[in-house]
Amino acid sequence: MLRAETSSTDPELKYWVAIHRVYGIGPARFRQLLRHFGSMDAAWSAPFSGLVSAGIGQENARSLEGLRSKSDPDREMETLERLGISAVRLDSPAYPKSLAETYDPPPVLYYRGRLAETEPAAVAVVGSRRCTAYGREMAKRIATGLVESDVAVFSGLARGIDGTAHRATLEAGGRTVAVVGGGLDSTYPSEHEQMAQEIVAKDGAVVSEYPVGVRPKPEHFPRRNRVISGLTRGVIVVEATRKSGAMLTVKWALEQDREVFAVPGSALSVNSEGPNWLIQQGAKLTTSHLDVLEEMHIQPLVQESAGVNNESTQGELGVDSLAHTNNGTDSEYRVYEFLASAGAPCHVDEIARDLGIRIADVTSALSILSLKGLVDEVGPMTFISKTPSVSSPGL
C-alpha cells in the first residue's frame, strides 16, 4: 500500500510539489534539474544563472524565479493536506512501479484514496463519451466480471464508457481508480463528483499529474491517457471512433508494452470503427472478461456455466470447438438461423435465452455477422436478419 508522504517524512517532497507548479517544467526538464543539482531543494534555491545552466531555458528559469518570490513549499504542502490530497514523487520507493518504469512518467502524482505501489492485476476499460447502449452494457459486463476475479478497473472518470466502468466496478464491490486531466481540487465532469467520492471511500483512488488549481484542458487528456495505461497491465477499448482519446490510450499502451483488447461491434456503427480496426491489427477480440483473464494468465475465481461450446455438448453434436458450418462457426450459424427464422427484430437476451448459449457468445456471433453484412442492429442490442434464407453464401 502506498503511504501518504508529508514534508516531515519526506523533506524533499515539498520542493518537487512547488517546482511542479511551473507550467513549462515537465518530466524532461524535471530530470534535467535533478541531474544538474542532485535534489529539488538545491534547484529551488539556485540562482537564475544556475537554472539556465541546468538546461531548462531562460523562460522557464524566469518562471521558477517568479514562483519563488510568491510561493512557499511548506504552504503548498499545507494546501494539499487541507484538501485531503496526497502526493508522491517519481524517485520515491512509494511511487507506483509500473508507471515509474515507463518512458515518460509524471514527476509528481497527486491522489485521493489509496494508490498502490504495485497492482497485481489491473486493467483499463476505456471508450467513447458518446457510447451506445451496447457499449454501456459490454463495459458493465466486462468490468463486473473482472471484479469477480479481483482485477482492479482503471479508467478516466469521463462520461460514457469510463463512467460506466467505474460505476459497474463500484456496484460489484471492486476496486477502481480514476485518472483525471486536472487538479484534484475540482472534479470534471462535475456530475461525477459523487462517483469520485465513492471511488475514494471504497478503497479506490482518484489520481492526477496536475497540481491543484489546474483546470482540465483538451491537451491534458492525451497526456493523462499514458498514466492510465502505465498504471495497468492492459487496456480494453469498448467503443471508440478511429480518431479518439481511447485510441490514443492504445498508442501509449503499445509504447509501454501493455496488452490491448478490443470489443467487436457493428460494422455500421461509427463507435465500433476503432475496436474493429484494432482487431484487424491483432488486438485481442474481447467479448467477455474471460478473454482478458485468459490473455493475462489469471484464473477466474468464479466459474461460469458452460454454453453449447463445452466439450460434452460438442461430443453430443459431433463437432469440435473449431467446427464450421457453411464457412461460419456453429454459434454464428445458430444465431443467424434464429434471426432468419424469426423474421423480426430480436434482443440479444432473447436470442441467448432461446438458444441456451452465453450472451457473450451471442454478441460475438452478432458482431461477426454484422461485419459480414448479414444482420443489422436496429435498436439497442436488438438485431434483425438482412436475408430470408439461412443458406446464404456468407455463412
Q: Which of 16-25, 163-172, 226-235 has the lowest mean pLDDT?
A: 16-25
Residue 96 inside a domain? The answer is no
Instruction: Print the domain residue range for 315.
Output: 311-385
Are 282 and 317 in the same domain?
Answer: no
Structural contact between residues 36 and 53, judged by C-beta atoms closer than 8 angstroms = yes
- Whether residues 126 and 261 share a domain: the answer is yes
Residues 224 and 249 grouped into a single domain: yes
Read off the CATH number of the domain in which 48 is found.
1.10.150
Q: Given CA atoms 31, 33, 38, 42 in this order, what sign does their dihedral have?
A: negative
pLDDT at residue 152 above 70? Answer: yes
> Residues 151, 265: one domain?
yes
Q: Does residue 1 sit within a domain?
A: no
The pLDDT-based confidence of 329 (bands split at 50, 70, 90) is low
Q: Is 373 helix (H, G, I), strand (E, B) or coil?
A: coil
Residue (of 196, 250, 244) closest to 228 by Cα position: 250
List the beta strands (DSSP E) in the chain. Answer: 86-89, 108-113, 122-126, 152-155, 176-179, 205-208, 234-237, 259-262, 284-285, 324-325, 328-329, 346-347, 375-379, 382-385
In the sheet that holds 382-385, the strands lie side by side as 346-347, 382-385, 375-379
Over residues 91-148, the pLDDT tens digits come to 999 999 999 999 899 999 999 999 999 888 999 999 999 999 999 999 999 999 999 9
- Confidence band, pLDDT 50/70/90 cuts, at residue 8: low
Which grid cell is 160? 460514457
Grid cell locating 289: 472478461
Query: Do 176 and 234 belong together in one domain?
Result: yes
Task: Say yes or no: 189 and 276 in one domain.
Answer: yes
Residue 35 is predicted with a pLDDT of 94
Q: What percent of the chain has pLDDT over 70?
A: 89
Residue 213, pLDDT above cutoff 60: yes
For 154-191, the pLDDT digits (tens) are 999 999 999 999 999 999 999 999 999 999 999 999 99
Q: 376: which strand partners?
A: 384
302 occurs within a structural domain:
no
User: What pLDDT was estimated at residue 344?
Assistant: 84
Query: Does the reported pTM lie above 0.85?
Result: no
Residues 344 and 281 in one domain: no
What's the mean per-residue pLDDT of the chain?
87
H-assigned helices in 149-180: 161-171
Question: Which residues have a Cβ under 8 Å from the Cβ of 341 and sit 6 or more positions away?
Answer: 390
Count: domains in the chain: 3
**Residue labelled with grid coordinates 423480426:** 344
CATH of the domain at 221: 3.40.50.450
pLDDT bin (cut points 50, 70, 90) of residue 5 is low
Helix ranges (DSSP H) in the chain = 13-19, 27-37, 40-45, 48-53, 58-70, 73-83, 97-100, 133-148, 161-171, 193-201, 220-230, 245-255, 273-280, 289-295, 311-317, 330-342, 348-355, 359-371
